[in-house]
């Protein structure tokens, strides 16, 4: 099994580290805090003991001194422990690494109890920078790069099991939905919307559930770190712009597993999968670099023109269009050219799956996927 150096760095103070199941949080914590006291709430006996008597938590850490680290894994299983964590931070000056695969129950329980005392971080699937020479875009688009799957000798079977694990452990065990059959029908439909604007009415009709139910289901996908929503950018360039957000799944392999489509990547899937990989790469590096203050997509209303990513930082903008094609054509730049009038537009970049880097006559840069990943990792995106 390969072990990769992760981009995530341990903060000096207490923090939450969220991430989808199998993304490597526990492995990272063991390497980062080898001498920490660890409480794993997947240990059913420990979980049941603390559920019955949360004060046992204080007893398990009473021997520790100020500055010592405590790792609590799967903290979302027992949100009431946050009260004990709060007291330990205040009274004993202990530091906590709180690992979780869902923020949903913690939000409901009031994570704000720790506001200012615990930072929030997210761990994503393995990035191109973390994979280094092992990075293979075709493999990532087919099977994703969740470490649990990446290190498997049978990734397709592992992904099928992962989808069932998500339903069994994250949804059913944590009682996140009342209507499990409705959620099961919803999942593959939501997977079809990867890289698209979210049509809640259409999803609700197809899944046979209420519109408000679909909105709740979308929140669950986001809270369990499988998806995120990208808001629309209002450039106001003399056109009416779309307002609906776009839905992205964080890992290509997981979204394909949910669709039960794990063979060779079909032509119609390649574009959305590549686009979601680009956006997730930006979000991954944004935690260790100041890549942007805000991230959007842009598209005029009732138009086939679109720019997949618009970054905003320090009053400037950077536009990125993503195309899953190996051959460059000038019409691939039409969206980026429509943004030409945007004030303080620092850079326009087309990312594609071809091999050649160059610049168009009007200054648009064309990058292969590997160059895009390298520029982001090196912190050169805005230069």
Selected from 3.40.50.10310, 3.90.1150.10, 3.40.50.300, 3.20.20.70, the CATH number assigned to the domain covering 15-122 reads: 3.40.50.300
Residue 342, pLDDT score:
87
| Percent of the residues in the chain that have a pLDDT greater than 70, as a whole number | 93
Longest dimension (CA), the chain: 69
Statement: residue 240 has pLDDT above 60: no
Banded model confidence at residue 103, pLDDT cuts 50, 70, 90: confident
The predicted structure's pLDDT at residue 242: 61
What is the per-residue pLDDT for 187?
92
How does DSSP classify residue 246?
Answer: E
Q: Give the 3-state secondary structure of residue 232.
A: strand
Question: 15: which 2 tokens?
Answer: 């923090």
The per-residue pLDDT for 272 is: 97
Whether the pLDDT of residue 315 is over 80: the answer is: yes
Higher per-residue pLDDT: 169 or 154: 154
Q: DSSP secondary-structure letter at 331?
A: G
pLDDT at 326: 95
Q: Is the pLDDT of residue 132 over 90?
A: yes
Q: What is the pLDDT of residue 2?
A: 67
Q: What is the pLDDT of residue 116?
A: 61
The answer, as to whether pTM is greater than 0.85, is yes
Report the pLDDT averaged over residues 111-117: 59
Note the helical H segments in 8-153: 25-32, 44-52, 55-60, 81-92, 104-109, 128-131, 137-143, 147-150
Average pLDDT over residues 282-289: 93
What average pLDDT does the segment 256-282 reach? 96
Separation between Cα atoms, residue 252 and residue 248, nearest integer Å:
10
Contact 275, 320 (CB under 8 A): no
Do 327 and 357 form a contact (C-beta atoms < 8 A)?
A: no
Residue 294, phi then psi, degrees to nearest 5: -145, 155
| Structural domain boundaries in the chain | 15-122, 128-226+253-262
pLDDT at 32: 96
Q: Is 77 helix (H, G, I), strand (E, B) or coil?
A: helix
Of the candidates 150, 245, 250, the residue with the CA atom closest to the CA atom of residue 200: 245
E strands, 108-237, where? 119-122, 196-197, 227-230
So what's the pLDDT on residue 378? 94
To the nearest whole number, what is the mean pLDDT of the chain? 91
- Residue-wise pLDDT for 41-85, tens only, equals 999 999 999 999 988 999 999 999 999 999 999 999 998 898 889
């Amino acid at each position: 099994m390969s072990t990769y150096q992760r981009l995530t760095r341990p903060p000096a103070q207490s923090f939450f580290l969220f991430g989808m199941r199998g993304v490597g949080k526990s492995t990272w914590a063991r390497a980062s805090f080898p001498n920490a006291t660890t409480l794993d709430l997947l240990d059913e006996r420990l979980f049941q003991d603390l559920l019955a008597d949360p004060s046992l938590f204080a007893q398990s850490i009473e021997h520790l001194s100020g500055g010592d680290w405590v790792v609590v894994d799967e903290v979302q299983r027992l949100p009431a422990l946050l009260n004990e964590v709060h007291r330990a931070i205040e009274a004993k000056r202990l530091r906590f690494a709180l690992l979780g695969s869902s923020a949903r129950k913690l939000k409901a329980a009031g994570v704000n109890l720790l506001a200012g005392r615990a930072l929030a971080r997210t761990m994503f699937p393995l990035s191109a920078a973390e994979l280094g020479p092992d990075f293979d875009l075709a493999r990532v688009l087919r099977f994703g790069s969740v470490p649990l799957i990446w290190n498997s000798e049978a990734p397709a079977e592992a992904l099928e099991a992962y989808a069932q694990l998500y339903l069994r452990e994250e949804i059913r065990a944590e009682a996140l939905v009342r209507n499990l059959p409705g959620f099961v029908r919803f999942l593959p439909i939501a997977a079809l919307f990867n890289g698209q604007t979210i049509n809640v009415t259409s999803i609700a009709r197809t899944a046979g559930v209420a519109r408000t139910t679909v909105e709740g289901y979308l929140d669950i996908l986001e809270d369990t770190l499988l998806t995120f929503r990208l808001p629309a950018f209002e450039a106001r360039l003399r056109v009416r712009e779309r307002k609906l957000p776009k839905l992205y799944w964080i890992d290509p392999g997981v979204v394909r597993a949910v669709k039960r489509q794990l063979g060779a990547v079909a032509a119609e899937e390649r574009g959305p999968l590549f686009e979601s990989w680009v956006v997730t790469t930006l979000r991954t590096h944004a935690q260790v670099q100041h890549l942007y203050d805000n991230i959007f997509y842009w598209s005029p209303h009732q138009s086939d023109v679109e720019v997949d990513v618009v970054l905003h930082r320090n009053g400037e903008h950077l536009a990125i269009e993503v195309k899953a094609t190996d051959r460059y054509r000038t019409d691939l730049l039409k969206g980026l050219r429509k943004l030409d009038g945007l004030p303080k537009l620092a850079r326009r970049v087309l990312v594609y799956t071809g091999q050649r880097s160059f610049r168009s006559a009007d200054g648009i840069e064309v990058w292969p996927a590997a160059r895009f990943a390298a520029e982001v990792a090196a912190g050169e995106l805005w230069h």
